[in-house]
Structures are given as C-alpha cells and as structure tokens.
Amino acid sequence: MVWFALFAAGCVVRFQYVGLYRQKKRRELAASAAILCFALALFIVRSLQIPLPDPLEWISAIYGPLSKLVSQALD
C-alpha cells in the first residue's frame, strides 16, 4: 500500500506540480501539496501498524446522547 501511495505521489509531483509551478499557481500548489503530505503521512502511519482513530467514533461521541433520546422516544 505505502509503495503504491508513494508511486501515485511521485506521478502527481512529476506531471501536475511541474505544470502548476510553471503557471505560477502557488496557491493551488500549496493546498495540493499539503493534502498530499497528509495522505502520505496517513499511509506511512498505517504501514507502521500504528492504530489510527476512526472518525465515526467522534461523530458517535457527539451524537450519542441525542441518539439515545431519539431511540427512547420512538421505542
């Protein structure tokens, strides 16, 4: 997985970023590169078997009390 991600990232840098750099689209370049670094970090952390937090857990934590209320009201 991580090699695949690195390969994809390499392709993006080679084929997209060179063009963006020449067109002086700095803002696009910065945004895209930041997300790319984040993605690579995710892949590397995952490949080191470090458990990542799951986002649904946070949503469940926020809506937990409300969800209990709804279940009680409609049961």
Partner 1 sequence: MIEKGKINPRQFSILTLLFSLGSSILIVPSALASFARQDGWLSAVLGVAVGTLLLAFYRALAARHPDQSLVEYTQALLGTWLGKLAGFLFFLYFFILSALVLRNVGDFLTTIVMPETPIQVVHCVMLGAILIGVALGLEVIARAAEIFLPWVCALLVVLVVFLLPQIETSRIQPVFESGTKAVIHGSLSVLSIPYLEMVVFLMVFPYASKQQRAASAFIKGGLLGGFVIIVITLLCIFVLGWDFTARHTFPSYTLAKKIQIGEFLQRIEVLVAIIWFVTIFFKLGLTFYAALLGLAQLLGLSTYRPLIVPCGMVLLMMSVIVYPNIVYFRHFASQTWPLYALTMGFVLPLLIWSVSLFRSPAGTASENRPPV
Among 14, 32, 48, 49, binds partner 1 (CB under 8 A): 32
Told to check if 2 binds partner 1 by CB under 8 A, we report no
Question: In a 3-state reduction of DSSP, which class is residue 50?
Answer: coil
**What is the spatial distance between Cα 8 and Cα 40, in angstroms, rounded to a whole number?**
10
Task: Spell out where 1-75 has E strands.
Answer: none
* 39, 5 contact by CB (below 8 A): yes
Among 18, 24, 38, 48, binds partner 1 (CB under 8 A): 38
Among 14, 18, 29, 50, binds partner 1 (CB under 8 A): 29
Told to check if 7 binds partner 1 by CB under 8 A, we report no
Told to check if 39 binds partner 1 by CB under 8 A, we report yes
